[in-house]
A and B are shown apart, each in its own frame.
Chain A
């Protein structure tokens, strides 16, 4: 069977670990900077006061004036989530994380170890820890397992047999479907509020009205495909951090610090010559907040310069000065070498490759997107008079 462990409002719970006193008060995750002013997950006290996740900030504060807004702490959430996944893996579950707060695993391999599906789910809930209020669901289909976990109470495990999937899903709300807000709204306007009502409609009509996403939602409402769960490869635990004596916001200093971190991480003996496929850059910011970005390299690499160039632009996204910068090598490739060309392309061949590359860029971004910088008066004291950007259409 496919099992799902769900922790609603994981980001808020992770942020509240540093401020446990707020857990019993009306609190909500503050909107992300630069995003829509919508509150994130809310505490039980806030929900009792009428605040709902996704509510407009102004409306939430008007509904509950004593509402405390908690700033998101993505680095802490990621660290807590990783710890939790490691505990599940230690208990023998090959986890396939969907997103922070939602993980799937296959129970077949551990049913005999723990004495059945229910016992295995209990073990998984215990591995997560009761402080997180996890819910578990299991079914033969992935979406049904997620739906079961969504309706289970905290600490409860709900198992749905394949013969009961349709009957189980029918009364559940369509909010469970992975649809955009506009599509959910369209369904509600059409009077479709329950999965059973959607499943009862002709598939062709749903696809015509809502497009491919609607067709997928319709299929899920009927139980979805059986699918398979692929256990993740446990992450490489190579982490390097650099603490600054005082907050740093200067990009040049941060780039130098990043260069030092990349060098130190690549020099770690645990890497064992393997190439890096996925990295995570995180920072502790002034004021206690945190920031984190992950990057998957198109081609696994072990060169300091390539990794530094790939990560460099992420530093421009830092919202505040940094107290600590941290680099994780999240995933390492198995390869320890790279196939190089015996003869490096030169002359006409190199020119042909460049032209082909530019043609592809032009094809994907439109005419005028490939340009050449032509210096016209590099000596000028007026910066914009020094060079022109000329489109290349050859």
Chain B
């Protein structure tokens, strides 16, 4: 019997839509992104915080940034304050 490959098995179970993807972000001194995936940030359009589930063992503390890169591409990235990592997500 041939076992299912990991990809095939993962494809058959329910998954979250719009999961955060790890992003390569270089922040400035004030914590705002300067470069996203090696592209310079041209405009910082918006910034907001999401603090949720603080009453659970998996609290969510994120600082979101909606930026326009020099290439003209729009990107939304956030810093996960719990994990200390940057992610990209369609917000």
Task: Say yes or no: is A390 at the interface (Cβ < 8 Å to chain B).
Answer: yes
Task: Say yes or no: is A383 at the interface (Cβ < 8 Å to chain B).
Answer: yes
Q: How far apart sit A321 and B90, CA to CA, in the bound complex (Å)?
A: 22
Q: How far apart sit A384 and B80, CA to CA, in the bound complex (Å)?
A: 14
A373 surroundings in chain B (CB, below 8 A): 17
Q: Mark B1-34, 1 if CB is under 8 A from A, else 0.
A: 0000000100111111111100000000000000
- The number of chain B residues touching the other chain, given as a range, is 20 to 34
Interface residues of B (CB under 8 A from A): 8, 11-20, 50, 52-53, 60, 68, 70-74, 89-91
CB pair A389–B15 under 8 Å, yes or no, is yes
B13 surroundings in chain A (CB, below 8 A): 391
Q: How far apart sit A164 and B13, CA to CA, in the bound complex (Å)?
A: 64
Task: Say yes or no: is A249 at the interface (Cβ < 8 Å to chain B).
Answer: yes
CB pair A251–B12 under 8 Å, yes or no, is no
Task: Say yes or no: is A388 at the interface (Cβ < 8 Å to chain B).
Answer: yes
Partner of A384, one of B8, B11, B19: B19
CB pair A386–B52 under 8 Å, yes or no, is no
- Which of A75-83, A195-203, A226-234, A364-372 forms part of the interface with chain B? A364-372
CB pair A389–B14 under 8 Å, yes or no, is yes
Q: Mark A353-394, 1 if CB is under 8 A from B, else 0.
A: 000000000000011110001100000111111111111010
B72 to chain A, nearest CB (A): 1
CB pair B14–A383 under 8 Å, yes or no, is no
CB pair B12–A250 under 8 Å, yes or no, is no
CB contacts under 8 Å to B, within A244-271, are 247-251
B19 surroundings in chain A (CB, below 8 A): 384
CB pair A388–B15 under 8 Å, yes or no, is yes
CB pair B8–A367 under 8 Å, yes or no, is yes
B68 surroundings in chain A (CB, below 8 A): 250
CB pair B12–A368 under 8 Å, yes or no, is yes
CB pair A387–B52 under 8 Å, yes or no, is no
Q: How far apart sit A374 and B71, CA to CA, in the bound complex (Å)?
A: 34
Interface residues of A (CB under 8 A from B): 247-251, 320-321, 366-369, 373-374, 380-391, 393
Contacts A251-B72, A381-B52, A382-B52: A391 and B12 contacting too (C-beta < 8 A)? yes
Contacts A368-B8, A384-B19, A384-B89: A390 and B71 contacting too (C-beta < 8 A)? no
Residue of A whose beta carbon sits closest to that of B78 = A383
Partner of A249, one of B52, B73, B91: B73
B32 to chain A, nearest CB (A): 20
A368 surroundings in chain B (CB, below 8 A): 8, 11-12
A247 surroundings in chain B (CB, below 8 A): 72
8 nearest A-B residue pairs (beta carbon): A249-B72, A368-B11, A387-B17, A368-B12, A390-B14, A384-B16, A388-B14, A321-B72
Partner of B90, one of A381, A383, A389, A390: A383
A366 to chain B, nearest CB (A): 7
Q: How far apart sit A124 and B88, CA to CA, in the bound complex (Å)?
A: 56
Q: How far apart sit A382 and B12, CA to CA, in the bound complex (Å)?
A: 24
Partner of B72, one of A248, A384, A390: A248
Q: How far apart sit A367 and B12, CA to CA, in the bound complex (Å)?
A: 7
B15 surroundings in chain A (CB, below 8 A): 388-389
Q: How far apart sit A367 and B71, CA to CA, in the bound complex (Å)?
A: 37
Can you name 10 extra interface pairs (CB under 8 A) apart from A366-B11, A369-B11?
A247-B72, A249-B70, A249-B73, A251-B74, A380-B52, A381-B52, A384-B20, A387-B16, A389-B16, A393-B12
Q: How far apart sit A385 and B20, CA to CA, in the bound complex (Å)?
A: 11
CB pair B16–A385 under 8 Å, yes or no, is yes
Residue of A whose beta carbon sits closest to that of B50 = A381
Q: How far apart sit A391 and B73, CA to CA, in the bound complex (Å)?
A: 31
Residue of B whose beta carbon sits closest to that of A321 = B72
CB pair B16–A388 under 8 Å, yes or no, is yes
CB pair B11–A321 under 8 Å, yes or no, is no
CB pair B71–A388 under 8 Å, yes or no, is no
B47 to chain A, nearest CB (A): 15
Which residue, A321, A381, A385, A391, has most C-beta atoms of chain B within 10 A? Answer: A381
Residue of A whose beta carbon sits closest to that of B12 = A368
A383 surroundings in chain B (CB, below 8 A): 18, 89-91
Q: How far apart sit A393 and B72, CA to CA, in the bound complex (Å)?
A: 40
Q: How far apart sit A286 and B65, CA to CA, in the bound complex (Å)?
A: 27
Q: How far apart sit A66 and B19, CA to CA, in the bound complex (Å)?
A: 48
Partner of A391, one of B14, B18, B71, B90: B14
